[in-house]
Amino acid sequence: TIFDAIRKRPILLHHPFQNFSPVVDLMRQAAKDPQVLAIRQTLYRTGANSEIVEALADAARRGKEVTAVVELRARFSEAENLELASRLQEAGVIVVYGVVGYKTHAKMILIVRREEGRLRRYVHLGTGNYHAVNARLYTDYSFMTCDESIGDDVNKLFQQLTGMGKALKIKKLFHAPFTLHKRLLSLIERETELGGKGRIIIKINALTEIQLIKALYRASQAGAKVDLIVRGICSLRPEVPGLSDNIRVRSIVGRFLEHTRAYYFGNDGKPEVYCSSADCMERNLLSRVETAFPIEDPELIARVREDLDTYLADNCQSWVLQPDGGYIQNQPAEGEERVASQLVLLERLTGKS
């Protein structure tokens, strides 16, 4: 089963280069497995007729305790999410609507399973929505683990979202609106203190939060090397003399919509990597429920770094932000090998072009 695979080691998938079906399989197996006692999931933009929703409904009909945190205010999906909530409730799912005043944008699944006389928590954390169509068109990370600390953290977050308690003593996750913003600033500051040894690579959809921008400017002025892969809005100006000489910004525009959020910090040779549902915007970091989760397995850290390096090597689908706010498309120099990052990832992760 997929539970056996997760117990052996954590799993990191990069969609759509790697199929979304293992996430669906996880939910289907959880619904049918008599050892699974409870399932909890956040649903932001999913669709009432998705396989994930069918698995949740099936689990509830089989007598499992199933809770869905449905965000009704997901833009352009309000009506669909009302239909989704109604369908889940009819199947016996406990539907809650999160924390008043804060959109629930985190992507989390928690599965509680009885194994050898004890309870084990299995967790899925992602950077994108639980939507099969999106999983074929958007690039996103899926992370599956049974790490006890992460499972405990996710359980506490669900307790908070369902009104059963406060999210206290979170061990490994960063969570907005409480710790995520502060911890990102702290990690940038650590690289700043390393000066020329500092290394930061951040891949997100947008960068507008002023405190993070100022922190990145300080890191650049201290000599740290900063690469930002920002698909959309970027309020930071790179390569401005005396301000951001050591910052490079690029946007990748290709066959798939870039949607992964990854934060890499060199940490003087002991790299730390986080993937997240959050962009570097004030609304995400201070006005939404978001998570950032650590990638701790050395091989998976190396994989994320290899992905990021592939984007940084792109000379076909990348647009480089200029100090004046304009963009120039990268072109391979004469005799230089063409690198289209999405095609490279497609070939690397699937063996197909």
Confidence of residue 74 (pLDDT cuts 50, 70, 90): low
Q: What is the CATH number of domain 2-172?
A: 3.30.870.10
Which pTM was predicted?
0.94
pLDDT at 297: 97
pLDDT at 78: 66
- Residue of 158, 175, 167 lying closest to 66 (CA atoms): 158
Q: Which residues are catalytic?
A: 105
Confidence of residue 69 (pLDDT cuts 50, 70, 90): very high
> Does position 22 have pLDDT exceeding 90, yes or no?
yes
Confidence of residue 86 (pLDDT cuts 50, 70, 90): confident
pLDDT at 207: 98
Query: What CA–CA distances, in Å, run from 82 to 27, 74, 90?
Result: 22, 11, 12
> Does position 111 have pLDDT exceeding 60, yes or no?
yes
Q: What is the CATH number of domain 180-347?
A: 3.30.870.10
> Does position 227 have pLDDT exceeding 90, yes or no?
yes
User: What stretch(es) of the chain map to CATH 3.30.870.10?
Assistant: 2-172, 180-347
